[in-house]
Amino acid sequence: MQQFDYTKGKNATDAALIIDAMDLLYTQNLDAFAIVSSDCDFTPLVMRILTNGLKAYGFGGTQTPAPFVQACSSFSYLENISQTSLPEIAKSTASGTKKTGKQLKQDTKLIIFLRNAIAETQEADQWSRLSAIGIHVKREACFDPGQYGYAKLIGLFEAIDLFEINRRPEGIYVREKK
């Protein structure tokens, strides 16, 4: 969309996009919005979209301010997206290689991060629901298992092999091996 500035120094395009998004929000039956921007000015729009019960998927550069990234239902960094097809993106890291279990175990920051996520989401039986872990890691650090070459968080836990996995009818649960 091209929008010409009516006033010198103002960004009329952002305002026009927000107006169009609000029109869509209130006149269409949508499930989600995708916002491709690294501009924190779209954070209130994301909050309004979420307030109305829709998902807001963000896409932007690594310089994107944290409030915008954290407000989105999910945020993907464009630098991690290569010229491969979308299914391949989930299988590869930015460097294009899947890390082995041994490599993952040597990444102490990753292991500590996952252990803390489990501790923060543990239930009374010492198990953490994988979905709760996933929500927690996305909110805390916009974590994406694709950065390590895994399409899903469960694949990352399985590869690391430092955690027990319990598949129950009500969902997948994870805890540290004893």
Give me the tens of pLDDT residue by residue for the chain, a chain 178 residues long: 544 555 554 567 788 888 999 999 889 888 889 999 888 889 999 999 988 888 888 888 888 888 888 888 888 888 766 544 344 433 333 444 788 889 999 988 889 989 999 999 999 999 999 999 988 887 766 677 877 888 889 999 999 999 999 999 989 999 998 8
Per DSSP, helices labelled H in the chain are 12-27, 43-51, 66-71, 86-91, 101-106, 108-121, 130-141, 153-160
Q: Are 75 and 51 a contacting pair, CB within 8 Å?
A: no
How far apart CA 167 and CA 109 sit, in angstroms, is 26
How far apart CA 23 and CA 40 sit, in angstroms, is 20
pTM greater than 0.75? no
